[in-house]
Amino acid sequence: MDVIDEERQLARAQMAMDAMAIGHALLDSDVDEARFRTHLVHGVASRHGFVQIAAAAHGVSRLLSRSEVTVIPGIGRALLALLGAIDRV
């Protein structure tokens, strides 16, 4: 049986909750909250060596940085990529 690194699992859980919060913020038209949560996910992923998650968070961040509204072409696909990357860890 593999030993599960508790710190990495807690980081994964935190990133999953923050990624869900990004989706909720987008639905609530709160682009600042979505940016903040994306920044949190990127930071945790980078600190723990989750390269694919960090890259996906960067993709979401790039889209959010270009807009003051939450209706952004490609944001749904980028968020799904982020959630998929978290799920694969």
Angstrom distances, CA of residue 76 to CA of 19, 26, 27, 70: 12, 10, 11, 10
Looking at residue 1, its pLDDT comes to 43
Residue 6: its H or E element:
helix 6-27
Looking at residue 4, its pLDDT comes to 65
Query: What one-letter code names the amino acid at 37?
Result: R
Residue-wise pLDDT tens digits, 42-58: 999 999 999 999 999 99
Exposure string of 74-88, with b = 16+ CB inside 10 Å and e = fewer, is: ebeebbebbbebbee
pLDDT of 29 higher than 80: yes
Q: Which of 16-25, 26-35, 65-74 shows the lowest per-residue confidence on average (mean pLDDT)?
A: 65-74
pLDDT of 39 higher than 60: yes
Looking at residue 72, its pLDDT comes to 85
Q: Which two tokens stand for residue 47?
A: 């600190």
Report the alpha-carbon distance of residue 30 to residue 11 in Å, rounded.
24
Looking at residue 3, its pLDDT comes to 57
